[in-house]
Amino acid sequence: MARSVAIVGTGQTDHRSHRPDVNGREMIYEAVKRALEDCELSIHGIDAVVIGNMDHFESINYVDTWSVEGSGALMKPVMKVTTGGTTGSSVAIAAYYHVASGLFDRVLAIGWEKNSESDTTAAIITCSDPVWDRFSYSGAIPSLATEASAYMKQYGATQEDAARVAVRDRTHALNNPHAHLRRPITVEDVMASPMLAYPIKLLDVCPRTDGAAAVVFAADGIAQKIAPKPAWIKACAVRHTYTWFGDVDYNAGLVSLQKASREAYQRAGIRNPVDEIDVAELYLPYSYAGLKWIEDLGFCGPGEGPRFVREGHTDMGGKIPINPSGGVISTNCIGATALLRVAEAAMQVMGKAGQRQVPDVEVALATGFGGCFWSDVVILGTNRP
């Protein structure tokens, strides 16, 4: 039988566009050290390590073995889990199963990326099928521009609607000392920023960040001794359905998120997400996702995203605050990005989110996004499942 599992500690670097002061292994060490300090464990207390990033960004093959001195995996079990943008949540879910299996009691999940050492777009272009997709859907932005255009046509959403999402996340980032972009912006700033691919402008999208995140998972019976208020994993669900960008139905919503969130809600016993979830850390790589994908999560009906955001329901103090951390639009160390969502959600549940804390969080939602419109969903809570 699977054991209950909780997050007992989190750590992250102070994210920057460029960290010339550390190499990749040292940057990983920084996050790991902070995670261990957070839960007052030594590395000797860790039974296994799961690590992930995206290979071609730093061009390190076998990151699991390359990083042992930084990750603390020396003479421990370590494996690499990598699934593109969803890497961070995939790593978290892998750490969950390491513990749930009964084989390990305390497991360290690590995500990292040193984007300053990479040509991110040149690398990510190669994710598309070389024959069918690569010349139309080259890199991260074209497929998202397709999605945004389709959404605007379908529901009459405007560029200003999307800009509000970017403004919200960047405003929230002011409360997060770790965030990469901590300068307030306005809707006018977003509208005036350079067009990258219609309708996406520079301030609509996430930056490239150097950073790492580390999260400690522990088993039922042990977690309670480590953390006064562990963040229990209530459900995880994953859908990585498509291979070809041309197969995606851009008018059907983000189907992977619809399916993964429904499975996760069912497992966690959530019927009405807006009422039952207290805070959401969503992998929103660009502003339009903050309109459309909250519909797929069931926070509001189809086409209602712009109004839901406009009315302030997703702001701090709203019905369901989204991205108190500032989200992906403020910080994007790719392999760590989805793990940061899980870490931030856990911090909210544990009451450790400092200035960005949402009061009295009992249930928090974290998502990952990546690959070919893929979604991962993790639900955390104060009550042991």
Q: Which residues bind another protein (CB under 8 A)?
A: 1-2, 23, 54-56, 59-69, 73-84, 90, 93-94, 96-98, 100-103, 123-127, 129-130, 237-243, 259, 370-372
HSE-CB of 158 using CA atoms within 13 angstroms: 8
**Mind giving me the DSSP string for 4-38?**
PEEEEEEEE---BS--TTS-HHHHHHHHHHHHHHH
Amino acid identity, position 198: Y
104 or 308, CB closer to another protein? 104
- Find the shortest distance in angstroms from Cβ 32 to another protein: 15
103 or 252, CB closer to another protein? 103
Amino acid identity, position 245: F
Rg (CA), the chain: 19
320 or 379, CB closer to another protein? 379
- Find the shortest distance in angstroms from Cβ 257 to another protein: 13
- Find the shortest distance in angstroms from Cβ 229 to another protein: 24
Instruction: Check if the beta carbon of residue 200 is closer than 8 Å to that of residue 146.
Output: no
169 or 376, CB closer to another protein? 376
24 vs 67, 71, 86, 352, CA distance in Å? 8, 10, 20, 27
- Find the shortest distance in angstroms from Cβ 73 to another protein: 6
- Find the shortest distance in angstroms from Cβ 373 to another protein: 10
308 or 373, CB closer to another protein? 373
Q: How many CB atoms lie within 10 A of CB 298?
A: 18
Instruction: Tell me how far apart the alpha carbons of residues 288 and 163 are, in angstroms, rounded to a whole number.
Output: 8
